[in-house]
Structure 1
Amino acid sequence: MSSISELSQSKEYLSFRSSVPLRVIVVDSNDKKGWRVYDCGPKIIKCPLVCLPPVSGTADVFFKQALSLSAKGIRVISVEAPVYWNVKEWCEGFKKLLDNLGLDQVHLFGASLGGYLAQKFAEYTSNYPRVASLILCNTFNDTSIFNSHESAALYWLLPALVLKRLIMGNFRPNKEDYNMMEAAEFMGEKLESLTQIELASRLTLNCLRGYVEAHKLKDIPITIIDVFDEYALSSVVREELYKCYPEAKIANLKSGGNFPYLSRCQEINLHLQIHLRQFDNNDLSPANMPLFNRC
């Protein structure tokens, strides 16, 4: 993959980077551990949509959602965590970030690892709910699918090149689909920008033994977005997620690969709007007016 992708030079991406400032918010005692945050849309909204990226992603991989949805009056915040070595620390850090931003509750859109962490945060805050709803994309609820619990303790020792190869092996873009190839190249570029310690911590979170206590999420509205074509997770993983959330709404895309929020952004954005419409005209709305008036 090229070091500079076409998508990162597109007018849309350059517009996003020039119009939406990157904030680094430190929430821990270690002043080097800052969350990277892009905040789009009306700041008066106190229950925004917050996007959580996959292992290979940075906060700006959701730029297509941020630009499109914020233009419809929806507040969209895309975040990238600093280095954390276990899920509890990540959840504590994310809670502090929401406190810093003055957000009591949020809607979470998570892809792959981001989707798993979104579920774990909803579980972590179940006694004092901070998650208004979940949109889970190409994700999982049990890390046993990776069969890498023993390896997780060693990732911090491995060189960045080895870690990147471990992740790149799961990309497998459809070479006949331009949008999927473009998305994979863009994500490859983002992967290259991550340091060894960032990659090691993310892979550790991804593979440490853990699962979601789904019964603690039974009152949270959930939409599951999956693609029917080949991507990093198996159909068995998808079915297990469905079983955990029998009341969830299912949104299936015919294709889209590992990164449908880039390769099939219009479809993803539509499903996000449909999911969020149920919160129109109440305190949990992420928009400053009903979404059906914005489509």
Structure 2
Amino acid sequence: MEEIKVSPDYNWFRSTVPLKRIIVDDDDSKVWSLYDAGPKSIRCPIIFLPPLQYPVYWDLLEFCDGFRKLLDHLQLDKVHLCGASLGGFLAQKFAECTYKSPRVHSLILCNSFSDTSIFNQTWAANSFWLMPAFMLKKIVLGNFAKGPVDPKMADAIDFMVDRLESLNQSDLASRLTLNCQNSYVEPHKIKDVVVTIIDVFDHSALSLEAKEEMYKLYPNARRAHLKTGGNFPYLCRSHVCLPILTLSHSRFFHERF
């Protein structure tokens, strides 16, 4: 049984915070699904960008334009963005795209990357839309941890596999297209954004080279290294990640947990 789905905290959240569905594009098939929690008096909130669940966008600029429209709809001029994996890359690209009229106050990047070439799939990015769902799921699952892991990490993997199963072919194809189309972050355009990097010392989908490239891109970034956590530390090590989110907005830190 997936412990996350039956945990009191998860069920309390799902029963008290409604899932909102918002359309901001002319194409009404592009639906943003989000949970809006916390005091409405906070005008610069944290928005969490997960690895998987977004409207179907096929281009990074198209995504950034849609996300800008979402912030306009929510009447948010500035936000903190916390992104995991693809979510972290999209957060960086949005900060880059809006640098002339900044919308991003800070970035919290968890197991994220700055250059899609690390996945060696840029050649296939334009063909994902043709592939059947089972092939796309196989590609995504190939990045999940294999072999023995501790129970909390195993439960996090099960939870993400369940989320993956809920996506249709277009959802999966668009995520992989955004993840793999040839693109990289231009850090000079977001040099004034405060950055926090969260990563793990154990095995994850990111290579050591990809992590070191992030450190080079953001030499002044605040860093939080977790001893373990795999691909989904925000799920299996949430008791550690939550304090990091708080600390990242208050002082410089470099912790090893």
* TM bin (shorter chain): over 0.9
Cα distance between partner residues in 2 of 1:113 and 1:176:
23
* 1:253 counterpart residue number: 226
1:38 counterpart residue number: 35
| Equivalent runs, 1:137-152 vs 2, <5 Å | 137-152=110-125
Aligned match for 2:204, one of 219, 231, 236: 231
Report the equivalent of 2:255.
none
SS of the equivalent of 2:66 reads: helix
Q: Secondary structure at the match of 1:14?
A: helix
1:136 is displaced (CA, Å) by 0.4
Cα distance in structure 2, aligned partners of 1:206 and 1:36: 20
Which residue of the partner structure matches residue 246 of structure 2?
A: 273
Provide the secondary structure at the position in 2 that maps to 1:183. Answer: helix
**AA of the residue aligned to 1:32:** S
CA contact (8 A) 1:223 1:251 kept: yes
Once the two structures are superposed, the pairs formed by residues 65-214 of structure 1 within 5 Å of their partners are 81-172=54-145, 175-214=148-187
Contact 1:22 1:38 in 2 (8 A): yes
Q: Which has the higher contact order (CA 8 A, sep 6+)?
A: 1
Q: Please name the residue that 1:70 is paired with.
A: none
Q: Which AA in structure 1 matches 2:119?
A: F
Query: How far did 1:26 drift?
Result: 0.3
Aligned to 2:46: 49
Structure 2, unaligned stretches of length 5 or more? 252-257
User: Does the aligned pair in 2 maintain the 1:173–1:257 contact within 8 Å?
Assistant: no
CA distance, structure 1, for counterparts of residue 146 and residue 245 of structure 2: 24
Which deviates more from structure 2 when the two are superposed, residues 160-169 or residues 174-183? 174-183
Match of 2:254 in 1: none
SS of corresponding position for 2:129: helix
State the identity %: 55
Which secondary structure state, in structure 1, belongs to the residue aligned with residue 56 of structure 2? coil
Change (3 A) 1:44 1:228: same
In 1, the alpha carbon distance for the partners of 2:148 and 2:84 equals 22
- Tell me which stretches of 4 or more aligned residues in structure 1 moved more than 6 Å: none
Matched length: 251
Distance 2:155 2:45 in 1: 28
- Tell me which amino acid in the other structure corresponds to 2:35: Y
Counterpart residue type for residue 177 of structure 2: T
CA drift of 1:97 comes to 0.2
In the other structure, the counterpart of 1:65 is: none
Contact 1:141 1:211 in 2 (8 A): yes
Q: Offset at 1:92?
A: 0.1
Deviation of 1:217 (Å): 1.1
Give the alignment's Cα RMSD to 1 decimal.
1.1
Q: Give the Cα separation in 2 of the matches to 1:225 and 1:195.
A: 30
Deviation at 1:34, TM superposition (A): 1.1
The TM-score, its normalising length taken from structure 2, stands at 0.95
**Alpha-carbon distance, 1:276 to partner:** 1.6
How far apart are the structure 2 equivalents of 1:109 and 1:12?
20
8 Å contact from structure 1 (residues 173, 180) kept in 2? no
Q: Distance in 2 between matches of 1:207 and 1:262?
A: 24
Residues 5, 189 of structure 1: 8 Å contact kept:
no
| 2: CA distance, partners of 1:268 / 1:134 | 14
